Amino acid sequence: MTETAQPPTALSVRNISYSYGKKPALNDISFDLAPGKVTALLGPNGAGKTTLFSLITGLFDCREGEVVIAGHPLRRDRSAALSSLGIVFQAQTLELDLTIDQNLRYFAALRGLTRLEAKDRIDMLLAAIGLEGLNKTKVRKLSGGQRRRVEVARALLDHPALLLLDEPSTGLDIATRRWLIEHVHALARDKGMTVLLATHLVDEVGDEDDVIVLDKGRIVAAGQVDAIVASAGAANLDEAFTRMTAHDAVSAA
């Protein structure tokens, strides 16, 4: 009986370190993401989450360590690695004076989709995110929550193997934030997508998620939610997270 070949890990990070001048931001970070799951990168502001995302996406040069996306080393096979990646940045990045359709079609062209493929994907995604029929609306006229939904659609246009979200709920109203987190978990559960969600909000983490706790540029815990809670001797993830990252407050008291 022939064994079925296993797909490559969506993201493998090995021994990543990074400094801003003499100030260290990340120190020997290593992890693999489980396929078809949401992994929450949980850390307080300034923990190094955005720096890590900048290295994974190639915005920063990874001088120490290695990033491998869907089997493609970022340093040696940058084009193939990044083609497997969808990302929603913390800051909004849509062109305000273009319509939703123009924004998405431009990105689709950059990703190599044909006009017909782009149209079909855009129509399907806009329906999925609750913006069906708004193709010709300029982004400037959208609410902040609607713009974020368009950015999620853009990240999903070409079926990425890995979806990165860098604190995507920043500035969103409660209803849109709830939709975003539920939609992301549905993508992992129903579509088998691998998701890395950077956040400092514990309520965005599902009970079934894997968690990486990052603090001061180091991984201080990694594993399933219940295991992290147990290892901290806590009653829940909120308490565990506070215990793992509250050293400054304790020392200053």
pLDDT in tens, 217-228: 999 999 999 999
Could you tell me if residue 68 is inside a domain? Answer: no
For residue 139, pLDDT beyond 80: yes
Residue 101 lies in a domain: yes
**Number of domain units in the chain:** 1
User: Has residue 106 been placed in a domain?
Assistant: yes
The mean per-residue pLDDT over the stretch 63-75 comes to: 93
Q: Residue 128 falls within a domain, yes or no? A: yes
Question: Tell me, what's the pLDDT at 45?
Answer: 87
**Contact yes or no for 90/167 (Cβ under 8 A):** yes
Instruction: Determine the length of the chain.
Output: 253
Q: 250 versus 89: which is more confidently predicted?
A: 89
Q: Answer whether residue 188 is part of any domain.
A: no
Residue 186 confidence (pLDDT): 92
The answer to whether position 75 is within a domain reads: no
Considering the entire predicted model, what is its pTM? 0.89
CA distances from 95 to 18, 100, 115, 240 (A): 31, 9, 20, 40
What pairs with residue 186 in β-bridges?
none
Per-residue pLDDT of 140-193, as tens digits, reads 999 999 999 999 999 999 889 999 999 888 888 888 889 899 999 999 999 899
* Region for residue 171 given its phi and psi (left: phi exceeds 0; alpha: psi -120 to 50; beta: otherwise): left
Asked, for residue 223, whether it belongs to a domain, the answer is no
Q: Is residue 79 part of a domain?
A: no
Q: What is the pLDDT of residue 104?
A: 96
Q: Which domain holds residue 146?
A: 94-159
Which of these, 65, 78, 19, 43, lies nearest to 242 by C-alpha position? 43
How many angstroms separate the CA atoms of 71 and 85, rounded? Answer: 12
Average pLDDT value for the chain: 90
pLDDT of 169: 87
Q: How confident is the model at residue 108 (pLDDT cuts 50, 70, 90)?
A: very high
